[in-house]
Amino acid sequence: MSKTLIIIPCYNEEESIGTLLKELLEIGNSLFEIVVINDGSIDKTAAVVSQYNNVALVSLPVNLGIGGAVQTGFKYALENNFDIAVQVDGDGQHPPVEISKLLNVYQETQCNIVIGSRFIAKQGFQSSGLRRMGIFYLRWLNKIFTQIDIYDITSGFRLFDKKAIELVSRNYPDEYPEPESLVIFAKAGFSIVETPVIMKSRQSGKSSIRYFSQLYYMIKVTIAMFFSYIRKVK
């Protein structure tokens, strides 16, 4: 059986992380291990996580952002010899019961990357109309760069095999990394597949992408994807 790690990046998620960990532990410790990457939170996130003896906690001294926090989780997976890593958001959007869908698809396909998608079956939370327009644009842009059509281009609910873990431990984008990293994976020759999942709306906190920052996000991600496309693979 593959040794599997659940990576949960957290920044100020004290209201949702406890419920998420309870749901994960109810599924059973025999299926996977859990690490929470506390990304310099200034609330009680670390204190809540510390109550769970079966959950590893890595607290970063400063806030690195989502890319740095997730990459810390990948480095933890690599150093502890995990075969599979599954990224799960700490805000409650990714229900633990849906993890089995990613694992099942991996067992069937042996793809390097498995992405949980909201938009294939169109069930559960679908995001706002404005954000779906942005996601559609990034989907189109990704298809140009990679020749791979990914419906849920911004999904952070993703499974990585050992080969992918090794790559992202060395090279992973800093901010809003999901779209840019797909360009990196495609250039590395990785196989990528999506599977339908049901997501929830954010259970607590606020998204870092709001209002006028959405335009900034689209411009920045477009530039980042372009430079990842033209950059030589290391």
Cα 110 to Cα 34: distance, rounded to the nearest angstrom: 22
* Of residues 164, 4, 168, the one with CA closest to residue 83: 4
Query: E strand or H helix at 4, and its extent?
Result: strand 4-10
234 residues of the chain, pLDDT tens digit each: 689 999 999 999 999 999 999 999 998 767 899 999 999 999 999 999 999 999 999 999 999 999 999 999 999 999 999 999 999 999 989 999 999 999 999 999 999 999 999 988 677 665 666 777 888 899 999 999 999 999 999 999 999 999 999 999 999 998 779 999 999 999 999 999 999 999 987 645 454 444 447 788 889 999 999 999 988 765
Strand ranges, E, within 118-234: 158-161, 192-196
Class of domain 4-230: alpha beta
* Of residues 160, 78, 166, 75, the one with CA closest to residue 113: 160
Give residue limits of the domains in the chain. 4-230
Predicted TM-score (pTM) of the model is 0.90
3-state SS class at 196:
strand
